[in-house]
Structure 1
Amino acid sequence: MYALGTHLLVELKECNAKILSNLKEVQDVLITAAKIANATIVETAFHEFSPFGISGMVVIAESHLSIHTWPEHEYAAVDIFTCGDVLRPEKAVKYLIEKFQCKSPSVVEVKRGILSPLNRKLPHKVSEEEFKSQEPAAGQQDETPRQPAFSN
């Protein structure tokens, strides 16, 4: 199966609360993580909440990295969404774990935009015959929903 992107859902538990509550440090860590993953940084935005907590986003040409911290719970939620196969998001995750001094990390990988072979050809239009030729043979199942673009 072909996917347009990879989405890493990173749970960082038992982190250093002092680091998670430092806006400059959180910002530097997330930006450096993007660079370590070989991402092209387009824009950044971070906000510090009162009495504590930080949310931030690093927009990259290949998608984004985001973070939300709860220092009072020694917890950070990080999303790393990447498109293409050039980036190394797992390197960014290792860096985040190290820098936030995380004792209990977990990562869930979700493939986003899973497309069938037919959909990989889009956005060009296909004829009804071409579409039907891409359908699974009788008895085979293709669980990927299709939305054909028929030529007129």
Structure 2
Amino acid sequence: MSTHQPIGIHLLADMSGIEPDVLADCARIEQLLRDAAAAAGAQVLHSHFHGFGPGLGVTGVVLLAESHISIHTWPENGFAAADIFMCGAAQPQLALELIEEALQPEYSEVRTVDREPPH
């Protein structure tokens, strides 16, 4: 008897109580998500990030062979929302652990969705 495995794992993380300066640094956030992809064993294809200005938030996405990691930050609220979706042998939890270690949120709520084709 074989164990059923989902096609992909999708993690949705809402993190709060984060230092605002960290959340406003576009280059730092982009490098963090690229490093998170590597930690998860995923292959980065491309990334695109946008900073909204000094002291303002960042939005960005890292496109992966295994899907994507995206983030949007609100420094004025000390809040970041991350979306980590990976398939194959990639391990999205390892990406999330690296992101949380770097951002040091006081609180993190994570929802996990097993992605499967409809039956």
TM-score of the superposed pair, with normalisation by structure 1 = 0.71
Q: Is 1:57 the counterpart of 2:50 in the alignment? A: no
Choose between structure 1 and 2: higher strand proportion. Answer: 2
1:2 Cα deviation (Å)?
4.3
Aligned residues: 115
**SS of aligned partner of 1:26:** helix
Relative contact order higher in (CA < 8 Å, ≥ 6 apart)? 2
Equivalent of 2:85 in 75, 81, 84: 81
Partner of 2:116: 113
Contact 1:41/1:60, CA 8 A, preserved across alignment: yes
Name stretches of at least 5 consecutive residues in structure 2 with no aligned partner.
none
1:56 Cα deviation (Å)?
0.6
**SS of aligned partner of 1:25:** helix
What are the within-5 Å matches in structure 2 for residues 26-105 of structure 1? 26-50=29-53, 52-84=56-88, 86-105=89-108
Per-residue CA shift, 1:42-101, capped at 9, x if unaligned? 0000011146110010001000000000010000000000112x1111111111111012
TM-score of the superposed pair, with normalisation by structure 2 = 0.90
Partner of 1:5: 8
In the aligned structure 2, how far is the partner of 1:38 from the partner of 1:55? 23
Per-residue CA shift, 1:11-38, capped at 9, x if unaligned? 1111111100011111111110111001
Q: Write the letter of the residue equivalent to 2:72.
A: H
Contact 1:44/1:58, CA 8 A, preserved across alignment: yes
**Runs of 4+ displaced beyond 2 Å:** none
In the aligned structure 2, how far is the partner of 1:24 from the partner of 1:2? 36
Percent identity, aligned pairs only?
37
**SS of aligned partner of 2:18:** coil
Name stretches of at least 5 consecutive residues in structure 1 with no aligned partner.
116-143, 145-152
Rg bigger for which structure?
1
